[in-house]
Amino acid sequence: MNLMIKTSAAALCVMLLAGCSAMRSEYQQPQLDIPQGWSQAGAQEQGSAALAQPERWWTRFQDPALNSLIERVLASNSDLEKATLTLRKALLEAGVSENNKFPRLGFAQDSSYQRDLDSGSSDTSYGASLSLSYELDLWDRINALADASELAARASYEDRESLAQDLVVTTATLYWNVGYLEQRIALVSDNLKDSERIAELTRLRHENGSNTQLEVVESKQAVFDLQLQLSQLQQELSEARNSISILLDQPLQETGVAIEQLPDQPVPDIAAGLPADLLLRRPDIRASLYQLKSALASKDAVAASYLPTITLTGALNTSSSSLVELLQNPVAKLGSGIVLPFLEWREMQLNKEISEVDYQMAVVDYRDTIYQAFEEVDNLLTAKKHYDYQSGIYKEQFSNAREIERLYQSRYTHGESDITDWLNAMESRRGIESSLLESRYNQFVVQARLYQSLGGEDIVR
């Protein structure tokens, strides 16, 4: 009988160990519909793509002040610090899961005191136990849990990287916004001086009988409009500088940022023929992929948790009437226990189905992340083309508007038209000049966002 039991137990162990390797699911790439124009990119484009994405893409704008500001933000931003702590926590949790692969050592100590009331004698005893526990990972459950934690930690790393890249784009955008607003304020201030001069000239000509009261009022209205514009722009500039202060985690307005206008150098360009797999460098896509694989490992761990678990425990117990004898009388004990969690059938099915749903949701999230990346890049490429085209039109329109303004000024000076025509021409020129400046600002912002959307080298490590 004992021989049969031993033989059956050995056979069971062989079966269990043989089934262990089949418990882990093999990861399969979700089906994706890649845009045809992207998927045909070849090896030559790979080289141009690498050239288009340097390790620090913002350095391509060749602005030392911008480079310095971005480095300061990356070094001091509180949100990035929180993300770093989140990553550290995830790494520690992954380490805890990894520890489950090794035997656990436990130690317990107790003492007791007895006194005989009749004889007055007393006795003190001490006890201690040292235990060793190890779970045989027959179904690879522990490895699956450890893998899930490690992959989740990698996803946290990518989340931090995504935040860092967002911070870089936000910093650059605010930096250029300050330059744009400073330039707009300078333009409006000059226009305000011109309008005040025209209003004064109109008033004097009215006193001489050359202008009507209506023309005087209209010239004043132009001054009021520009005063309101100037006030609004100054408010926007103050808010932009405050936003930079928040990014730097320092007192308001004390940023040390000095930019009086948008940079003069040309906006960098993007190489043609970018391959689709360039997007796989994006941290949000990498994070989604790690989450997907983590969900798959978690699903395997849930399935394995409802299979028989064998735990081996070893204990070294001692007990005596004194602490010295404690180390002289050890008793070893080895026990084993088998847990059969699959008997909880209803709960097992529900938890397995929940883990399967979690995995399918991760698949959907991964697909959505990739498709959103394609959409984002396509929108930004379209916007870049749009603003480049706009800029050329605005330049020609501005040159034409200045000539129209000059002609109306001459006609007004010679009494051939009233001041309204001149003021309207002046207002039109101002609007086009503002649009031209805004278009150039948008070119810088779109280019930065395009660099980010295409992915690149990690910013933080």
Q: Where are the alpha helices (DSSP H) in 208-263?
A: 213-248
- Name the residue ranges covered by the structural domains of the chain: 47-101+153-184+243-306+346-453, 103-136+308-343
CA 50 to chain centre: 22
Which of 27-36, 290-299, 374-383 reaches the highest mean pLDDT? 374-383
Assign 142 a pLDDT band (cuts: 50, 70, 90): low
Cβ atoms of 283 and 158 closer than 8 Å: yes
Q: Hey, do 47-101+153-184+243-306+346-453 and 103-136+308-343 end up sharing a CATH topology, with the first three levels equal?
A: no
For the chain, report the end-to-end CA distance as a whole number of angstroms.
63
Distances in whole angstroms, Cα of residue 41 to Cα of each of 37, 85, 154, 191, 274: 8, 39, 29, 50, 7
pLDDT digits (tens, 9 = 90+) for 394-431: 999 999 999 999 999 899 888 888 888 888 888 899 89
Distances in whole angstroms, Cα of residue 66 to Cα of each of 54, 176, 211, 258: 16, 9, 51, 10
Assign 199 a pLDDT band (cuts: 50, 70, 90): confident
Which of 109-113, 136-140, 309-313, 356-360 reaches the highest mean pLDDT? 356-360
Q: Considering only CA atoms, which of 293, 19, 365, 22 is closest in space to residue 147? A: 293
The encoded tokens of residue 393 equal 């039109």
- State mean pLDDT over 301-327: 48
pLDDT of residue 374: 83
Q: Which residue has the higher pLDDT, 105 or 377?
A: 377
pLDDT digits (tens, 9 = 90+) for 234-243: 999 999 988 8
- State mean pLDDT over 146-151: 75
Cβ atoms of 27 and 296 closer than 8 Å: yes
d(CA 393, CA 376): 26
The pTM assigned to this predicted structure is 0.70
pLDDT of residue 225: 92
DSSP-assigned letter for residue 117? T
CATH fold group of domain 47-101+153-184+243-306+346-453: Outer membrane efflux proteins (OEP) (1.20.1600)
- State mean pLDDT over 261-270: 84
**Was domain 103-136+308-343 assigned CATH 2.20.200.10?**
yes
Residue 16 has pLDDT above 60, yes or no: no
Cβ atoms of 241 and 257 closer than 8 Å: yes
Assign 128 a pLDDT band (cuts: 50, 70, 90): low
How many CA atoms within 13 Å lie on the side-chain side of 370? Answer: 21
How much helix, strand and coil, in percent to the nearest 5, is found in the chain? 70, 10, 20
The encoded tokens of residue 336 equal 């084993």
